[in-house]
A = this chain, B = another copy of it.
Amino acid sequence: MQPLTLPPRLLMGPGPINCYPQVLSAMSTQLVGQYDPTMTSYMNEVMALYRQVFKTQNQQTFLVDGTSRAGIEAALVSCLEPGDKVLIPIFGRFGHLLAEIAERADAQVHTIEVPWGEVFDPQQIEDAIKRVQPKVLAIVQGDTSTTMLQPLEELGAICRAHDVLFYTDATASIAGNPFETDLWQVDAVSVGLQKCLGGPSGSAPISMSGRFVDVVRKRHHVEAGIRDSHHQDAQGQRIRSNYFDLSMIMDYWGEERLNHHTEAATMLFGSRQCAIELLREGQDAVLKRHQMAGNAMLQGIQAMGLRPYGDLKHKMSNVVGVYIPESVNGEQVRHDLLNLFNIEIGTSFGPLKGKVWRIGTMGYNARQDAVLHTLQSLETALRRAGLVLPAGAGVDAAMAVYAGATETRHD
């Protein structure tokens, strides 16, 4: 029963990452009651902040109380009734996750796949939509399992043309890569805090368009324990989950303030601060900071003679896959980085397990010093593993990226 004693890790994996210090401070704030006017006014403020984060006018923009996959499940089970068709293009682990969540909801799940390390051409998706005629298209924007970023710009228009709802999971990509809810005509998007937003896992911001909300509202049922005579159930089939029933969560965040769960206030305080950190620095500036750090890491990795994974044209800014050199024990290198330098980089799942490290530059850690420390330490760890590397090539290449950018700014 000692106080928490954690080592000062620099978290350079695919997430979770180190939180912004201001986010941590916000989470030690003492509570008020869930219907306290100050609390409900902060709930309203959080809705407004995340409308900016998501770049949307959607009224229904709030938090689901759980980790990022809670947001995914809430979106999918609230719109998919048993037997409904959903099309899920899969380009990594999290596409499989969307499919299995939809399967468990007894939706009729249709998937298309590209090899890991690639993304879809919008035409492939439109062809599949024409063939399947789904109610919903569900696709990940950035899949950390492969580091790939699926272009979404054209999918909204395709979905509208075929009367399909367009859901995307932008957990890994939001704030580090462009995302435009309204411009891209996204009907529902959910994220987590633990990547480029610089917070801990445990809260899932979500936003829903009017047409998505209409579908969910058709399944609205009020809980028996708090039902009044004026409550009328909608005609649609009741949503299969109470916890993830977005129609009820809307009632809780909306003017009616109808009790559902007790809001996870500490996570709300953290979510609020994540949005504030993003908006105070500026979304464009944060995006550029991620692109800079990601590019510096990529250039550094390549200058060291290491080979990056996948289609670099479609890599997320905030994570890079690195082939583990054949002569090297990948887990030993990760072990050295952690134990000698307090730096964590990631391993991989599925087909990439044991073959690729994943190195992230996200949120608070999308910083020059974090990139440089990581490259230097990786060089040392690889040298100790017997690899012959050009001394300082990684860190020099990364510094050149930052130096070039600095010059550009002085033009």
Q: Hey, which bits of chain A sit against chain B, CB under 8 A?
A: 1, 3-4, 6-9, 11, 13, 15-19, 21, 24-34, 36, 38-39, 42, 65-70, 73, 77, 92-97, 99-101, 103-106, 145, 192, 194, 200-202, 223-227, 238-244, 259-267, 269-270, 272-273, 276, 279-280, 338, 344, 349-350
Q: Is the CB of B200 within 8 A of A266?
A: yes
Q: Is the CB of B67 within 8 A of A264?
A: yes
- Which of B8, B9, B30, B105 makes the CB contact (< 8 A) with A6? B30
Q: Is the CB of B96 within 8 A of A200?
A: no
Given contacts A6-B38, A100-B223, contact A201 B263 (CB under 8 A): yes
A-B contacts, 21 listed (Cβ < 8 Å): A4-B273, A31-B200, A32-B344, A34-B201, A65-B67, A65-B202, A66-B70, A66-B243, A69-B261, A73-B243, A99-B224, A101-B242, A104-B241, A104-B242, A200-B264, A200-B267, A201-B265, A240-B240, A241-B244, A243-B244, A266-B270
A93 CB contacts on chain B under 8 angstroms: 225-226
Q: Is the CB of A7 within 8 A of B29?
A: no
A239 CB contacts on chain B under 8 angstroms: 104
Q: Is the CB of B226 within 8 A of A349?
A: yes
Q: Is the CB of A9 within 8 A of B34?
A: no
Q: Is the CB of A4 within 8 A of B261?
A: no
CB distance from A322 to the nearest CB of B (A): 17
Q: Is the CB of A32 within 8 A of B9?
A: yes
Tell me, in angstroms, the Cα distance from A97 to B31 when the chains sit together.
25
Q: Is the CB of A267 within 8 A of B225?
A: no
A241 CB contacts on chain B under 8 angstroms: 73, 77, 104, 241, 244
Q: Is the CB of B266 within 8 A of A267?
A: yes
A266 CB contacts on chain B under 8 angstroms: 27, 200, 202, 266-267, 270
A338 CB contacts on chain B under 8 angstroms: 36
- Which of B4, B145, B225 makes the CB contact (< 8 A) with A225? B145
Tell me, in angstroms, the Cα distance from A387 to B1 when the chains sit together.
49
Q: Is the CB of B27 within 8 A of A8?
A: no
CB distance from A276 to the nearest CB of B (A): 5
A280 CB contacts on chain B under 8 angstroms: 1
- Which of B24, B69, B106, B242 makes the CB contact (< 8 A) with A30? B24
A77 CB contacts on chain B under 8 angstroms: 241
Q: Is the CB of B33 within 8 A of A16?
A: yes
Given contacts A36-B9, A100-B242, contact A16 B73 (CB under 8 A): no
Given contacts A11-B31, A200-B31, contact A262 B65 (CB under 8 A): no
